[in-house]
Structure 1
Amino acid sequence: MADLSEAIRTALLTGDKRAKVMATRALVRDWRKGRLPGGFTVSMPDSPAWPDGLEVLPPGRMPKRGKGGNARNRIALWHSLAHIEFVAIDLALDIVGRFGAEMGDAFIADFLGVAADEAMHFALIDRHLATMGAGYGDLPVHDGLWQSAMDTAHDAAARLAIVPMVLEARGLDVTPATLNRVRSQGDSRGAAILQRVLDDEIRHVSAGASHFTKVCVQRGIEPKNHWKRLVKTYFRGVLKPPFNDSARLAAGLSRDLYAGIA
């Protein structure tokens, strides 16, 4: 019988969008029901599989997205959101497969839950794209999110500091404005999807912050200053306002944590 790491590796190397969602849901369900042994016998791939024909560009070469409410701009917006959630499936799976043996059962449970959430988010968004006559894979995407994962593949603390506590936390900042724009366009279904994503992302960032603190304490390192050092070392962008302080605080990120390096 395959163990947890083998099931995760298989899901990561599944490129078809629907098959990846189904493989992720199945492994999380099997692990929760005790049908999947919790061993870590195989390594994680350097890169996950994505859909055949998906055009992947460097972040700097991505076409600029318009902000108007016409059909083309709406499709571009939702396609971008779909890609974020699709890569988020791989990020959540990889963090478990790569660091689960070191970090323990609570970490595994939290981030398998994140993986299941991201699979659900992607499925909802891809179905919403279908109502516009589009689907994930129709437009170019970039690999910046996965590059951040590879930059931090050697250290659980670095991965937690960058992926949940910077990249996902940025989603807490920008999603409310996107939600308001979608609502103003009369897209009530899209607004409901974004509200669900925002609510779930608060929990995801909270899990990241909590486990980051735990690993720092285990290593005898002061969390706040270590997080700032890791961000300066591994985050390629710039932390800049506006920040959604209330959502960040709900996720365990105090303003004094990130304000000093914004």
Structure 2
Amino acid sequence: MMLPIAIDSVGAACAHVLLTPHPVAKLMSARAVARAWRHGRLEARFDAAMPDRPARPDAPELLPPNRMPKRGKIGSDRARIAMLHALAHIEFVAIDLAFDLIGRFGGQFPVAFIDQWMQVGAEEAMHFALLDRRLRQMGSHYGALPAHDGLWQAAEETATDALARLAIVPMVLEARALDITPATVERFASVGDHASARMLCRIMADEIRHVSAGTTWFTWATNRLGLDSPKHYQILVKQHFRGALKPPFNASARRQAGLTEEFYAALAT
């Protein structure tokens, strides 16, 4: 897929991804934007406003988290499909989160920030494609079940502060995925769904790098401002995150991502 010829800036390209509603078209747009940046076809201009909300397809129906149906035990096909659908929705929203981060805040960072988050956006698109393909192999598809909108609520909460966005999205929400994915992999493997288990392991390896990107640029920005990175992280999480950081933590994966215990231990409940 090629971008429209009129799109020649990073800002316009990121807005294009967010304003593309159809899942397949969005992932293709994400890949096209990342490729265009990599090949030097986009200028580092931030001349387009990011939408308050991305365009969304007619399905899935978006529900508040407390209205989401219970998934049940992982041993049934229905429960595994529900889990994979929930993960597919997270990756679908993560495409928009990556490109919104670039388009909204990229001008505050070096060009290397754009390089890294373009790669993240392309990988989120790949993750969504993997999960949707697995759903189809199991007789379902993305959009067949309802989903919740909590991830984009975090984006709305941090829409005016780059440090808050980095603290909450990669360093809280994506870091939480590092904590829970190994147990999810074990549950899929325990019922013989090794295809899904392998896929989730592959996705988790990428997510460690995504959390690392958040930690790297959060630390870069706080150091530049003369702030103590862990302490400022704790302040921002208390201000912007609705909920608690719940152990157990995957300390090994978090350390690989540079998210050491000095950041989050004081916030644990």
Which moves more between the two structures, 215-224 or 114-123?
215-224
> After superposition, what is the alpha-carbon deviation per residue over 1:11-65, rounded to whole angstroms, capped at 9, x for unaligned?
1111101000000000100110011222110110000112123211111211122
Match of 2:21 among 2, 15, 20: 15
- Counterpart-to-counterpart distance in 2, 1:53 and 1:251: 34
Match of 1:202 among 197, 204, 208: 208
TM-score by length of 2: 0.95
Which moves more between the two structures, 152-161 or 59-68?
59-68
Partner of 1:182: 188
Match of 1:161 among 145, 162, 167: 167
> After superposition, what is the alpha-carbon deviation per residue over 1:172-202, rounded to whole angstroms, capped at 9, x for unaligned?
0000000111111222221121011110011
Match of 1:5 among 11, 20, 35: 11
- Counterpart-to-counterpart distance in 1, 2:52 and 2:83: 28
Partner of 1:135: 141
Report how many residues are paired. Answer: 262
Amino acid at match of 1:180: E
Partner of 1:64: 70
3-state DSSP of counterpart to 1:101: helix
Deviation at 1:67, TM superposition (A): 2.2
Verify the 8 A CA contact 2:12 2:46 in the aligned structure 1.
yes
Verify the 8 A CA contact 2:74 2:188 in the aligned structure 1.
no
Amino acid at match of 1:145: L
2:37 equivalent to 1:31: yes
Match of 1:146 among 145, 149, 152: 152
- Counterpart-to-counterpart distance in 2, 1:67 and 1:15: 32
3-state DSSP of counterpart to 1:201: helix
Structure 2: give runs of 5+ residues left out of the alignment: 1-5
2:231 equivalent to 1:245: no
Alignment of 1:104-143 (within 5 A): 104-143=110-149
Amino acid at match of 1:103: F
Match of 1:55 among 56, 61, 65: 61
- Counterpart-to-counterpart distance in 2, 1:130 and 1:62: 22
Partner of 1:231: 237
TM-score by length of 1: 0.98
Deviation at 1:258, TM superposition (A): 0.8
3-state DSSP of counterpart to 1:260: helix
Verify the 8 A CA contact 2:74 2:187 in the aligned structure 1.
no
Partner of 2:96: 90
Structure 1: give runs of 5+ residues left out of the alignment: none
Amino acid at match of 1:211: W
Match of 1:220 among 226, 238, 263: 226
Amino acid at match of 2:50: M
- Counterpart-to-counterpart distance in 1, 2:196 and 2:42: 35
- Cα RMSD of the aligned pairs, angstroms, is 0.9
Deviation at 1:162, TM superposition (A): 0.4
- Counterpart-to-counterpart distance in 1, 2:120 and 2:19: 18
2:83 equivalent to 1:41: no
Verify the 8 A CA contact 2:63 2:147 in the aligned structure 1.
yes
- Counterpart-to-counterpart distance in 2, 1:15 and 1:219: 37
